[in-house]
Amino acid sequence: MAYELLITMFAGFMGGMIRAIVGILKWQVRTTKTKKEFSIHYFAATFLLSGMLGLIAGLYIQNDPRFAILAGYAGTDFIEGLYRVKFKQYKKKVK
């Protein structure tokens, strides 16, 4: 029983990590014309936060690692989408 929970948590964490990799790769592709500065601190923070969000999302899916991976990926994607919407609203208010 406990090992199933650990596997599910790990799967959710991996889903979040996969989302972090996809996000970083998207950023590199979209910013090809500008100078890119790689920050190891940003990279590590992105990986850890995405993994933790994925782990939390994966906990909602009990005993099925396949769905925990999807929940980890989608949960992190959902948080990113909310951030973008709120950030755009904030930028509009500042202008």
The domain in which residue 17 lies consists of 2-30+37-94
SS (H, E, C) the chain: CHHHHHHHHHHHHHHHHHHHHHHHHHHHHHCCCCCCCCCHHHHHHHHHHHHHHHHHHHHCCCCCHHHHHHHHHHHHHHHHHHHHHHHHHHHHHHC
Query: For 12-48, what is each residue's pLDDT tens digit?
Result: 888 888 888 888 888 777 776 666 676 788 778 878 8
Query: For 44-77, what is each residue's pLDDT tens digit?
Result: 887 888 888 888 877 777 778 888 888 888 877 7
Q: How many domains does the chain have?
A: 1
Q: Which of 30, 28, 65, 34 is nearest to 46 (CA)?
A: 28
| Rg of the chain (C-alpha set) | 15
